[in-house]
Structure 1
Amino acid sequence: MNPLLDKLHPYPFEKLRQLFEGATPNPALRHISLGIGEPKHPTPPFIKQALADSLDGLAVYPVTAGTEALRRTIAAWLERRYGLPPLNAATQVLPVNGSREALFAFAQAVIDPSANALVVCPNPFYQIYEGAAFLSGAEPYFVNSDPARNFGCDYDSVPEEVWKRVQLLYLCSPGNPTGAVLSLTDWENLFALSERHGFVIASDECYSEIYHGDEAPLGALQAAHILGLSSVDKPYARLVVFSSLSKRSNVPGLRSGFVAGDADLLKKFLLFRTYQGGAMSPPVQAASIAAWNDEAHVEDNRAQYRAKFDAITPLLQEVLDVQLPDAGFYLWADVSRTGLSDTEFARRLYAEQNVTVLPGSYLAREAHGTNPGRNRIRMALVAETAEGLEAAQRIVQFCNSLTK
């Protein structure tokens, strides 16, 4: 067996299952899960219809690069959404079977394991980044999020000797689990570091279309364009972005996303994926074209999340330290005032109120003397508003019972 597999940590949901062993939830209450970030809003009917209408495509082997129609559709969406100059859909866009698969595979294509490589990851983080680093033969280097910086990471704190070994930097903006969005200044600093040290930036932007203010989150390609990095000889050099329809269009089971950016990187990544077997099914491609071409359902989806967060966040603020995030569908709450650790809070809440939340320490690693997820919980507000409100009310009742 590949010895690198032994470096992998149990996935957070496996740790949660172990945490709940022996805990008997209150039988008088139906279970409500805020633990998994799986969109629960209905899939738009027109996407399902486009999928059904294209089932004859199952008789055709798909090409790894996807159809020209899908690549052009994705390029056009990026241009509209981020105000980008025209992209070359043939060289700067690559459809993938969901951002998760592509984020993992990308490290295998980029990393030179003979070079004592490091992969920089935010902390807390999406677990795929760490697994991708280990199985590519590299080591992850974690940069802790800081509540004082709106949960941003202080990349200036990374020592020069570390940057010299970095081959890949994973970013998530809007962040999972914090919802933090990188600013133009953040991007400018990161681009300068990439230029100086030659590492690749992989920007995970799958939460970009769920935001709570009037201004849409800044994207990496957008920041590069604003800073003049899209018009040089090698536009978007060492930069790729990953996005997905899962959250935007409520189709996590469709497994449809894309990678876009540096044409030289995508050429090599396409070669890797040709051998890996990452071609997207033709019916999925047809449904994806329909989804990327429509914004009305995205606006409706965003409105539902805004209403839900506006109703639930004030309730939880009565008992927890939690703020409305910049974007995404998670609340990242500090439970310290309850007197319980994040794991104790999650286990007792499950047993007493039959509500599942995810301990924040499961989403982070001990780094630089601390685990930035400790004493925090992640709550995914993915269910319908009524169910989310009921869960919030139970959490309030649970927290109030701790002080009696």
Structure 2
Amino acid sequence: MNPLLAKLQPYPFERLRQLFAGVTPNPDFAPISLGIGEPKHPTPAFIQDALAAGMGALATYPATAGDLPLRQSFTGWLERRYGLALDPATQVLPVNGSREALFALAQTVVDASRTPAPVVLSPNPFYQIYEGAALLSGAEPYYVPSVPARNFAVDWDSVPDAIWARTQLVFVCSPGNPTGAVMPIGEWEKLFALSDRHGFVIAADECYSEIYFRDEPPLGGLEAAARLGRSDFRNLIALTSLSKRSNVPGLRSGFVAGDAAIIKSFLLYRTYHGSAMSGTVAAASIAAWNDELHVVDNRAQYRSKFAAVTPLLEPVLDVRLPDASFYLWAGIPPAWQGDDAAFARALYAQYNVTVLPGSYLAREVGGANPGRGRIRMALVADTAECTEAAKRIVNFIQN
């Protein structure tokens, strides 16, 4: 067996199952889960109709690069959303969800034969696929902490020069999971300068870009590059998905866009990897990318939930409205002495509400885990259920 598999850590939700093992939650309360970031809003009917209408494509092998109308739906959306003009033939590719693409991109980019061992940078806390992708590519993960005092901005300045010199890939998550923070253009400019100096690729994970709470939409990586005069998107790949934007996590549909040279190599990898998007899924995807009304409605539903829940929790938790995403990244009360796992277990036992311990989403570096003492709450259920969960959390803390 591949010895690198032994380096993989249990996924956060497996750790959560182990944490709750042997616990019988209070039967007086119906279960409410804020633990998993799985969209619960209904899939729009027109997307389901497009999927059904595209069933004829099941009789045909799909092209790995995707047909032109699919790629044009990507570039059309990028133009409407960010004001960008990308070539549908060379600068975009369909992927089977951003998770699959994040993993595969690392396998394409990393040259494990180099010595000393290559490094892949990840924010800390982070989406665990970044770590797994780095390890299975033969690279060494390096965890860069987020700073609460700076709106959870990633502290790129803390990375030593010796690490930058070995870095081949940097994962950026903006809006962030779990923090919801959006990276400003000054941070992008810093990363681009470092990429130019050291030659590493930047993978911009932007699957939460359409769920935001400010008047101005979140800045995207490609958009930042264009504003800074980097119209070739050198060493930059942005990844996005329909899962959160359009409430179709089971469709497994997204796309990557950016540097044409990297896209070319990524297409070669994917041709052998066998990861072409079904024509049936492509038909539904085109319909979704070409419509914005359902996205506006989806965003309004999340705004309503956060407006109802955040004020309830602010008096008892260290929490505030994030820039974007559907997570609340909350600090637990001092009485718990930073034991977020014990907090989550007791909350589940007493009030049947599931939250994810923040330490499960981060790694300890230098004796500190930046997720310790925090919990992640995914406000994916309807407003009434999320509000009920918030009220239970308030009662749990006060009692």
TM-score range, shorter chain: over 0.9
Instruction: Tell me how far 1:350 sits from its aligned partner.
Output: 0.4
Change (3 A) 1:390 1:77: same
Q: Does 1:336 align with 2:333?
A: yes
Instruction: Tell me how far 1:114 sits from its aligned partner.
Output: 1.2
Q: Aligned residue for 2:191?
A: 190
Distance in 2 between residues matched to 1:338 and 1:290, nearest whole Å:
50
Instruction: Tell me how far 1:336 sits from its aligned partner.
Output: 3.4
Q: Does 1:378 align with 2:376?
A: yes
Q: Which amino acid aligns with 1:162?
A: I
Q: Does the residue aligned with 1:377 lie in a helix, a strand or coil?
A: strand
Instruction: Tell me how far 1:339 sits from its aligned partner.
Output: 2.2
Q: Aligned residue for 1:13?
A: 13
Instruction: Tell me how far 1:79 sits from its aligned partner.
Output: 1.1
Distance in 2 between residues matched to 1:336 and 1:25, nearest whole Å:
22
Deviations 1:354-390 (A, max 9, x none): 0000000000000133100001000000000000001
Instruction: Tell me how far 1:337 sits from its aligned partner.
Output: 2.7
Q: Aligned residue for 1:362?
A: 360
Distance in 2 between residues matched to 1:300 and 1:114, nearest whole Å:
49
For these two proteins, the number of residue pairs brought into alignment is 396
Q: Does 1:315 align with 2:312?
A: yes
Distance in 1 between residues matched to 2:119 and 2:391, nearest whole Å:
44
1:338–1:399: 8 Å Cα contact kept in structure 2? no
Distance in 2 between residues matched to 1:213 and 1:265, nearest whole Å:
33
Distance in 2 between residues matched to 1:243 and 1:274, nearest whole Å:
20
Q: With structure 2 as the length reference, what TM-score do the two structures score?
A: 0.98
Distance in 2 between residues matched to 1:11 and 1:270, nearest whole Å:
28
Instruction: Tell me how far 1:338 sits from its aligned partner.
Output: 4.0
Q: Which amino acid aligns with 2:164?
A: W
Q: Does the residue aligned with 1:142 lie in a helix, a strand or coil?
A: strand
Distance in 2 between residues matched to 1:392 and 1:195, nearest whole Å:
46
Q: Aligned residue for 1:39?
A: 39
Distance in 1 between residues matched to 2:280 and 2:297, nearest whole Å:
25
2:319–2:328: 8 Å Cα contact kept in structure 1? yes
1:320–1:337: 8 Å Cα contact kept in structure 2? no
List aligned pairs for 1:245-324, cutoff 5 A.
245-324=242-321
Distance in 2 between residues matched to 1:16 and 1:162, nearest whole Å:
32
Distance in 2 between residues matched to 1:106 and 1:40, nearest whole Å:
28
Instruction: Tell me how far 1:138 sits from its aligned partner.
Output: 0.3
Q: Aligned residue for 1:104?
A: 103
Q: Does 1:79 align with 2:79?
A: yes
Q: With structure 1 as the length reference, what TM-score do the two structures score?
A: 0.97
Q: Which amino acid aligns with 2:236?
A: L
Change (3 A) 1:137 1:398: same
Q: Which amino acid aligns with 2:276?
A: A
Instruction: Tell me how far 1:22 sits from its aligned partner.
Output: 1.1
Q: Does the residue aligned with 1:114 lie in a helix, a strand or coil?
A: coil
Change (3 A) 1:338 1:251: farther
Deviations 1:212-261 (A, max 9, x none): 0101000000000000000xxxx001000000000000000000000000
1:8–1:131: 8 Å Cα contact kept in structure 2? yes
Distance in 1 between residues matched to 2:381 and 2:335, nearest whole Å:
25
Distance in 2 between residues matched to 1:388 and 1:55, nearest whole Å:
36
Distance in 2 between residues matched to 1:339 and 1:37, nearest whole Å:
25
Q: Which amino acid aligns with 1:79?
A: E
Distance in 2 between residues matched to 1:367 and 1:294, nearest whole Å:
44
Instruction: Tell me how far 1:318 sits from its aligned partner.
Output: 1.7
Q: Does 1:25 align with 2:25?
A: yes
Distance in 2 between residues matched to 1:316 and 1:338, nearest whole Å:
16
Question: Structure 1: which 5+ runs fail to align?
Answer: none
Q: Aligned residue for 2:127?
A: 126
2:351–2:396: 8 Å Cα contact kept in structure 1? yes
Distance in 2 between residues matched to 1:205 and 1:101, nearest whole Å:
14
Instruction: Tell me how far 1:301 sits from its aligned partner.
Output: 0.4
Q: Does 1:91 align with 2:90?
A: yes
1:364–1:371: 8 Å Cα contact kept in structure 2? yes
Q: Aligned residue for 1:400?
A: 398
Q: Aligned residue for 2:351?
A: 353
Percent of paired sites with the same residue: 69
Alpha-carbon RMSD across the aligned residues, in angstroms, is 0.7
Q: Does the residue aligned with 2:113 lie in a helix, a strand or coil?
A: helix
Deviations 1:254-285 (A, max 9, x none): 00000000000010000000000000011100
Instruction: Tell me how far 1:28 sits from its aligned partner.
Output: 1.5
